[in-house]
Amino acid sequence: MVICPRCSYEWQTRSTADMICCPSCQRKFSRPSPVVEVLMEKVPLDTTCDVCGGQNVELNLCRIDGEAAYVCEGCLTSRGAIIPR
């Protein structure tokens, strides 16, 4: 989900370009960092981090921009996710 900083229009975009254009006011702005939601912490799974590909790490089940992903602790921190306690 993207929110236009000018007109606050909210829409879903699949674009991965750095610059996106608001369909409402046509303003171009840089893409905000993805929204990371942590669904479950430190899931004991035999899989790799979807962000860095790291193995043998404790993975957190997350939703990044609405898509499920396994993210290691390091990537989570660098993405600035807020972990609910």
Note the residues at the interface with Zn ion (CB under 5 A).
Answer: 4, 6-7, 9, 22, 24-25, 27, 49, 51-52, 54, 72, 75
Report the nearest approach of Zn ion to the CB of residue 53 (Å): 7
CA distance 13 to 41: 27
The residue among 35 and 48 lying less far from Zn ion, judged by its C-beta, is 48
- Give the residue from 36, 75, 33, 79 showing the smallest Cα distance to 53: 75
Other CB atoms within a 10 A radius of the CB of residue 74 amount to 13
Report the nearest approach of Zn ion to the CB of residue 35 (Å): 17
The residue among 34 and 54 lying less far from Zn ion, judged by its C-beta, is 54
Tokens 């043998």 -> residue? 56
Report the nearest approach of Zn ion to the CB of residue 57 (Å): 7
The residue among 9 and 35 lying less far from Zn ion, judged by its C-beta, is 9
What residues form DSSP beta bridges with 61? Answer: 40, 70
